[in-house]
């Protein structure tokens, strides 16, 4: 029989050991995200082979009557009204049957050479991207950056804005920005399609920020056209995303040095999953915002 004092210390040792084990297990669970931290940028760097192809196409309106263009009343801010007296909303922009501001991107897929998934590669990140506030609206209305690419939000207006970006899977930020103020910079480390941006000072100001792991995307132009270059040969799911008309997908195959043409039709009669906020497509990790906010 152990003395009472020794039994006390033995019991204390066992309790502390058990607590250490529980903490270690809990830490292991919590650290799963940390282990996944490099997942969005990890992978084998893709090496150009010369066999890459191109995806082109158009997004057309398939409704009976295009939505009416909505004018914006900027009377609440004289600086805005003076600089942009004929402002209109850009949530639905249709001209000659073509739909502008549609994100078209490779949602998923697998390359032919090596049979590797698109997400298994590491893609070079381009230089900084800029989202400007000019005429009291965001320019461009839709912008796409890659994971790890810096986005600079600037203010070209003679008034104060408040940049409010609220992702679901990245760090949000909400910061005032006066005329000629330094850019508000952000780097997103989670892929997310798409993130809404607004201005607290001017409620009509809205934009969309897409974040993707790879460079295979395009935003439709005024004529509804898009072009995605340097696509590795393979089979992919191509998705078109519009903030009001929802999403449409197509299964495509890009042959060696080939060109694929894909047309999407969107409108009141063919809409699916209308978008009201950000939609996650790829898991990843958070990154603190740059620029002291």
**Res 1: pLDDT:** 54
Strands 206-212 and 94-95: unpaired
Please state, in angstroms and rounded to a whole number, the distance separating the CA atoms of residues 75 and 78: 6
Q: Which of 183, 253, 184, 243 is nearest to 219 (CA)?
A: 243
Q: Identify the pLDDT of residue 241.
A: 98
pLDDT of residue 115: 75
pLDDT at 63: 85
Q: Are the C-beta atoms of residues 235 and 253 closer than 8 Å to each other?
A: yes
Question: Which tens digits make up the pLDDT trace of 67-90?
Answer: 888 999 999 999 999 999 999 999
Q: Give me the residues of the chain with pLDDT under 70, please.
A: 1-42, 268-293
CA distances from residue 23 to 12, 38, 267 in whole angstroms, order as listed: 16, 24, 54
What's the per-residue H, E or C state across 7-76? HHHHHHHHHHHHHHHHHHHHHHHHCHHHHCHHHHCCCEECCCCCCCEEEEEEEEECCCCCCCCCECCCCC
- Global pTM reads 0.78
Per the structure block, which two tokens stand in for 165?
């970006």
42-266 belongs to CATH 2.60.40.420: yes
Q: What is the structure's pLDDT at 9?
A: 62
Q: Provide the CB-side half-sphere exposure for 40 (13 A, CA).
A: 26
């Amino acid at each position: 029989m152990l003395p009472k004092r020794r039994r006390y210390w033995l019991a204390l040792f066992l309790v502390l050991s058990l607590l250490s084990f529980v903490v270690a297990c809990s830490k292991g669970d919590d650290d799963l995200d940390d282990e996944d931290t490099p997942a969005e940028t990890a992978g084998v760097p893709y090496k150009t082979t010369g066999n890459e192809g191109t995806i082109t196409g158009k997004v057309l309106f398939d409704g009976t009557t295009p939505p009416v263009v909505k004018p914006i009343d900027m009377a609440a801010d004289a600086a805005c009204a003076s600089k942009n007296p004929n402002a209109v909303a850009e949530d639905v922009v249709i001209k000659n049957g073509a739909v502008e501001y549609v994100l078209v991107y490779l949602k998923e897929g697998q390359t032919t050479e090596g049979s590797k998934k698109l997400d298994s590669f590491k893609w070079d990140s381009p230089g900084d991207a800029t989202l400007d506030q000019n005429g009291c609206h965001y320019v461009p209305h839709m912008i796409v950056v890659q994971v790890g690419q810096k986005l600079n939000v600037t203010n070209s207006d003679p008034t104060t804005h408040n940049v409010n970006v609220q992702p679901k899977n990245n760090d949000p930020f909400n910061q005032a920005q006066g005329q000629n103020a330094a850019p508000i910079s952000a780097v997103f480390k989670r892929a997310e399609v798409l993130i809404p941006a607004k201005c607290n000072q001017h409620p009509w100001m809205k934009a969309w920020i897409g974040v993707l792991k790879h460079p295979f995307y395009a935003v439709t132009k005024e004529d509804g056209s898009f072009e995605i270059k340097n696509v590795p040969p393979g089979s992919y799911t191509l998705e078109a995303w519009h903030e009001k008309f929802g999403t449409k997908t197509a299964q495509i195959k890009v042959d060696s040095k080939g060109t694929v043409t894909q047309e999407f039709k969107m409108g009141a009669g063919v809409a699916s999953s209308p978008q009201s906020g950000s939609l996650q497509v790829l898991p990843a990790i958070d990154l603190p915002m740059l620029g002291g906010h």
